[in-house]
Amino acid sequence: MKLMARPYLLSLLILLSGLAPPAAAWELVADRLFLNTYGTLGQAKLDRDNVEVRNGREQSIDDELRGSFDNRAGLQLDYRINSDWSVTWQGLMFKEDGSYELDTKWAYVRYRPTAWFSIRLGRFVTPFYQISEQRYVGYSQPWVRPPLEVYGSENDFDYSDGLWLSWTLPFTIASATLEMFVSHYEKDSSGVSFEISPIVGVVLGISKGNVAMRLMAAQLPIELDGPRVANLEGLLQQPSAQHDYRFDADFYFYNIGFQYNDLRWLMLFEYIQNRVNGHLYPEAEAFTLTAGHYFGELMPYLTYSKRSALNTEPESGLMGEANIIANALITRRKTGQTSLSFGVRWDVIPGVALKGQWDHVRTKSGSRGIFEMEPDGHVNLMTVVVDWAF
Amino acid sequence: MVSWTVQAQEIVVVAGPNSRIGSLSGEELERLYLGHASADRVGQRVTFYDLEDSVVREKFYLSAFSLSLIQLRAYWAKLVFTGRGRPPKQLSTEALIARLQSDDHAVGYLPTDMAEGLTIIHQF
């Protein structure tokens, strides 16, 4: 466990050893080059020995105390060429398959020709949900991790490459920003080519005083290619099939977010809905509601979240192997669950927060929820993390 | 040292003696200081500064935006790592006054009794 945590511990120790800057960044070249870092070091476990939560990097939480699910360290370099142009790179280090990997999550050129318009070209974390963009920056959130009902254990396509336009709208009663992104994502894995292109989304953000609201809609055309995919599609796409099992389909993501934050209270609400024009892929809706209260450096909070799988109607038109495969896919997507979470955030020093969270998770009968297999009754998840951002 | 007396003093937002920025409303101050909008005003690019003195800084953010420094830190973490903005540069009180006097596009905040000779553009 100590060996697993070493790279993250090292970065945290460097920060705390006096090398940390007094402000919120290292200015490597005055007014030009900025270095920022963030990270999370944690431990988590479940109270059941027959289930586990696994993320896309094959890191899991089970009944042993483990840190690799949440542990990560991020680094950002930001270079201002002049008042209009800048270049930003952000990498995220985490453990994958027994070794440490560094992924480029953000890498873009930004041009801001006027005060009310900017354009980013390159790679960015796709802003589907309210905190998608900062989901890895634990310090910027109240929880130990974003609610799993909404954010999942990890998005397989959390970043994409393309264009991001941002307009500040000329309102005087509130700050309003309209954003539009057009991007592309592709990945080849085990002989299967996975492509989403073009991802097109619109985000409207409005804030006034302590209140902020966000609306988002996006379309994601997905294409799967490869010999295995063609064979499977041929097997499932039969005239007798009750549902449409097209592999190339269009996803539609919708998101409504609301935040209230004053000196005493923090309130967060978010609702998402993911739809798709085919029965091969899962449709889901979820919401999460958080209320927290500030007591100086301490903030206890309570969160209630719910996820429902929407297209779980079984297949009855296919026969034999096709029927077994189709219904196995449909059963697998039954991820409906609710969770009640209680946590405390303690801002130990500026830039470092210690958090503890207890999640009480209940799944519907026949649903596996966020777990790899359906749990027998409720599951409790306990997590402690240290988050930092400088 | 200004910290020990600042609790009893008012904070004002100031610009240089020859600044053409004019007065800022509370909404404008929030929009500009919290990075909601880029810092352009009356056709000129304006640079906003923070004070290193955490006592004055805390009083300013409490008065202006009802935000504690802890909340502010988390807020800026969100903006910095999503490419949406950077916090204002922090200067000592003396360095800020010197900057305001030499740069008409600079804006900062100070205890009222230190704002002599500067243009007050917002009062709480």
Residue ranges of A 340-359 with Cβ closer than 8 A to chain B? 347, 350-351, 353
**Any idea which of A132-141, A196-205, A325-334, B3-12 has the lowest mean pLDDT?**
B3-12
B7 shares contact with chain A (CB less than 8 Å): no
Residues of chain B positioned with their CB less than 8 A from the CB of A141:
74
Interval A366-377: pLDDT, tens? 888 888 888 888
Number of residues in chain B: 124
Cα distance between residue A163 and residue A124, in whole Å: 9
B2-18: average pLDDT: 72
Q: A18: which 2 tokens?
A: 């006096």
Residues of chain A positioned with their CB less than 8 A from the CB of B30:
175, 209
Q: Work out how many CB contacts closer than 8 A connect A with B.
A: 100
A327 shares contact with chain B (CB less than 8 Å): no
Nearest-Cα residue of chain A relative to residue B47: A83
Question: pLDDT at position A10, please?
Answer: 56
Cβ contact, residue pair A83, B45, below 8 Å: yes
What is the per-residue DSSP string for A222-260?
EEEESHHHHHHHHHH--TT-SS---SSEEEEEEEEEEEE
Nearest partner of A39 among A56, A20, A22, A52, judged by Cα: A20
Question: pLDDT at position B25, please?
Answer: 82
Phi/psi class of residue A57: alpha, beta or left (left: φ > 0; alpha: ψ in -120 to 50)?
alpha
Residue type at position A232:
L
> Are the C-beta atoms of A51 and A373 separated by less than 8 Å?
yes
Cβ contact, residue pair A261, B71, below 8 Å: yes
Residue among A36, A124, A175 whose CB faces B31 most closely: A175
> Are the C-beta atoms of A342 and A357 separated by less than 8 Å?
yes
Biggest CA pair distance of chain A = 69
Question: pLDDT at position A22, please?
Answer: 42
Q: How far is CA A250 from the centre of its chain?
A: 20
A210 shares contact with chain B (CB less than 8 Å): yes
Cα distance between residue A246 and residue A249, in whole Å: 6
Q: How far is A303 from chain B (nearest CA, A)?
A: 19
A162-186: average pLDDT: 90
3-class SS at B57?
helix
Q: How far is B26 from chain A (nearest CA, A)?
A: 10
3-class SS at A263?
coil
B20 shares contact with chain A (CB less than 8 Å): no
Interval B70-104: pLDDT, tens? 989 999 999 999 998 888 889 999 999 999 999 98
A124 shares contact with chain B (CB less than 8 Å): yes
Residue among B52, B81, B83 whose CB faces A110 most closely: B83
Which secondary-structure segment (H or E) carries B69? helix B69-80
B78 shares contact with chain A (CB less than 8 Å): yes
Residue A18: exposure state from Cβ atoms within 10 A (0-12, 13-18, ≥19): exposed
Cα distance between residue A328 and residue A168, in whole Å: 47
b/e A83-92 (16+ beta carbons within 10 angstroms → b): eeebebbbbb
Q: How far is A263 from chain B (nearest CA, A)?
A: 6
Cβ contact, residue pair B69, A173, below 8 Å: no
Percent of chain A with pLDDT over 70: 93
A108 shares contact with chain B (CB less than 8 Å): yes
Cβ contact, residue pair B68, A209, below 8 Å: no
Residues of chain B positioned with their CB less than 8 A from the CB of A124:
83
Higher pLDDT, A33 or B39: A33
Q: How confident is the model at residue B1 (pLDDT cuts 50, 70, 90)?
A: very low
Cβ contact, residue pair B77, A125, below 8 Å: no
Q: How far is A139 from chain B (nearest CA, A)?
A: 6
CA distances from A268 to A217, A259, A298 (A): 19, 5, 17
Cβ contact, residue pair B73, A351, below 8 Å: yes
A109-134: average pLDDT: 93
Q: Is the pLDDT of residue A200 over 90?
A: yes
Q: How far is B112 from chain A (nearest CA, A)?
A: 24
Question: pLDDT at position A29, please?
Answer: 85
Cα distance between residue A222 and residue A195, in whole Å: 6
Cα distance between residue A288 and residue A273, in whole Å: 12
A271-295: average pLDDT: 94
Cβ contact, residue pair B66, A207, below 8 Å: no
Q: A231: which 2 tokens?
A: 């064979």
Nearest-Cα residue of chain A relative to residue B26: A209
Cα distance between residue A112 and residue A312, in whole Å: 46
Residues of chain A positioned with their CB less than 8 A from the CB of B46:
none
* Average pLDDT of every residue of chain A: 88
B92 shares contact with chain A (CB less than 8 Å): no
Question: pLDDT at position B2, please?
Answer: 44
3-class SS at A269?
strand
Residue among B36, B77, B86 whose CB faces A140 most closely: B77
Instruction: Report ipTM for this prediction.
Output: 0.88
Question: pLDDT at position A66, please?
Answer: 87
Q: How confident is the model at residue A329 (pLDDT cuts 50, 70, 90)?
A: confident
B124 shares contact with chain A (CB less than 8 Å): no
